[in-house]
Structure 1
Amino acid sequence: MTEYTMTFRRYIKITLFMLSFFVLGYGATSYQSIFLGLSFGTLFSLYNLWSMYSRIERLGQAVINQQKVRTMGSLSRLLTGGLAVLIAMRYPQFFNLLSVVIGLMTVYIIMLIDSLTKTIRTPKEKR
């Protein structure tokens, strides 16, 4: 298993942990629209992570086979986020819009924290 695949799986595990925390928050608190929005946004964020991973895998295979690659799928991930926001705007009684947007950023926040911790833990000689 490559380091990239291990990192992807670690992101999935952390995101699913966060998602379970949001679901527990939905059931245990009176802030249901906030936690439902966080859960909804995190689900879309998880889909975007999987989409990015699969596109990068295809890119790697194309480079190995010396083929051209069309795109990395940034537009489709952007449209997925837009769809989540549109659904949240259509049903404001269920979803808090700000929490949906924060949920969409969940994976990216996890990536940032993971990168920072790796940078801090790595000795200066290896950087």
Structure 2
Amino acid sequence: MTELSEVYARQRKYIFFILAILVLGWGFTDYQTIFLGLILGTAISLFNLWNLARRTEKFGEAVVKGGRKKRSLGMFTRMAASIAGVIIAMEFPEYFHVLSVVIGLMAAYIVIMIDSFLQLFNVHK
């Protein structure tokens, strides 16, 4: 397993843990729209993290092999998924809180920063 795959697996585990907490919050509190918005945003954030990890692996392989060129790391796909999440929340405001979706979309980036900070101090080893 490459180092990038290990990092992605660890970050994916953190996001699943966050999603489990959000599902509990949705099930046991009166703030269903807020938690459902956070769940939607975090799920899209997990998709964006998976897409970034997959494309980064392919980009690295292309660089190692030399001749092949890789166009992008999928910024348009990640932006389109995020926009789709916000559109869903705006279309169904009785189920999703829009600001919660936006906060959930930042979940993977927050996890990446915290994981990087923990790696800096070798907490995982």
> C-alpha distance in 2, partners of 1:54/1:118?
21
Partner of 1:33: 33
Structure 2 unaligned regions, length at least 5: none
Partner of 1:6: 6
Aligned 8 A contact 2:4 2:57 in 1: no
Measure how far apart 1:115 and its partner are. Answer: 1.4
Letter in 2 for 1:109: I
Partner of 2:65: 65
CA RMSD of aligned residues (A): 0.9
Measure how far apart 1:60 and its partner are. Answer: 1.2
Query: In the TM superposition, what whole-angstrom CA distance separates every residue of 1:3-43 from its partner, at most 9, and x where no partner exists?
Result: 21111000100000000100000000000001000001111
> C-alpha distance in 1, partners of 2:65/2:113?
31
Structure 1 unaligned regions, length at least 5: 123-127
SS in 2 for 1:117: helix
Trace 1:10-29 onto structure 2 (pairs within 5 A). Answer: 10-29=10-29
Aligned 8 A contact 2:42 2:108 in 1: yes
Q: Displaced runs of 4+ in structure 1, greater than 6 A?
A: none
With the length of structure 2 as denominator, give the TM-score of the two structures. Answer: 0.93
Trace 1:1-127 onto structure 2 (pairs within 5 A). Answer: 1-66=1-66, 67-119=68-120, 121=121
* Residues matched between the structures, number: 121
Aligned 8 A contact 2:25 2:35 in 1: yes
Measure how far apart 1:76 and its partner are. Answer: 1.1
> C-alpha distance in 1, partners of 2:5/2:64?
17
Measure how far apart 1:117 and its partner are. Answer: 2.4
Query: In the TM superposition, what whole-angstrom CA distance separates every residue of 1:44-85 from its partner, at most 9, and x where no partner exists?
Result: 001101100110111011112211111111111011100000
Sequence identity (%): 45
With the length of structure 1 as denominator, give the TM-score of the two structures. Answer: 0.91
